[in-house]
């Protein structure tokens, strides 16, 4: 497998690490959206969150919690985002969490601004979705 994140974990590719645990690592994004944009990844290769073990998931999101505190030394707020699969915008098929410092002047806006074709759902459609997701 030719995964850039796995190469960072193995030390084949250098990274500016800001946090590391036995199961996760956080490093500055090489192509940041803003100064301080950080990625937090599990050391085991998983393509999607639901593939992760409970232990790796717990460690990853504890690392996200710690890193978010560090990121907010750069800005008062942060955005925590996961693209879970290619269709969602995931460019590297290795689970990674973006932790991005946010400032009013960064021009990004809320997550809702990403979606220009929002559905207008009726009660029956909400009920159908609810039933599918409850199973």
Please identify every residue annotated as catalytic. 96
- 117 Cβ neighbours under 8 A, 6+ residues apart: none
DSSP state of 3: -
39 contacts 29 by C-beta, under 8 angstroms: yes
Sign for the CA dihedral angle at 48, 50, 55, 57 comes to positive
């Amino acid at each position: 497998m030719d995964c850039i994140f796995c190469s960072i974990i193995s030390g084949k590719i250098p990274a500016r690490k800001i946090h590391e645990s036995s199961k996760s690592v956080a490093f500055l994004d090489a192509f940041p959206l803003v100064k301080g944009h950080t990625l937090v990844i599990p050391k085991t290769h998983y393509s999607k969150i639901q593939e992760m073990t409970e232990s790796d998931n717990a460690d990853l999101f504890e690392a996200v919690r710690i890193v978010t505190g560090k990121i907010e030394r750069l800005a008062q707020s942060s955005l925590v985002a996961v693209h879970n699969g290619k269709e969602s915008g995931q460019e590297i098929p290795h689970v990674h969490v973006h932790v991005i410092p946010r400032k009013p002047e960064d021009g990004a806006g809320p997550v809702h601004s990403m979606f220009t074709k929002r559905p207008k759902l009726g009660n029956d459609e909400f009920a159908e979705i609810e039933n599918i997701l409850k199973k």
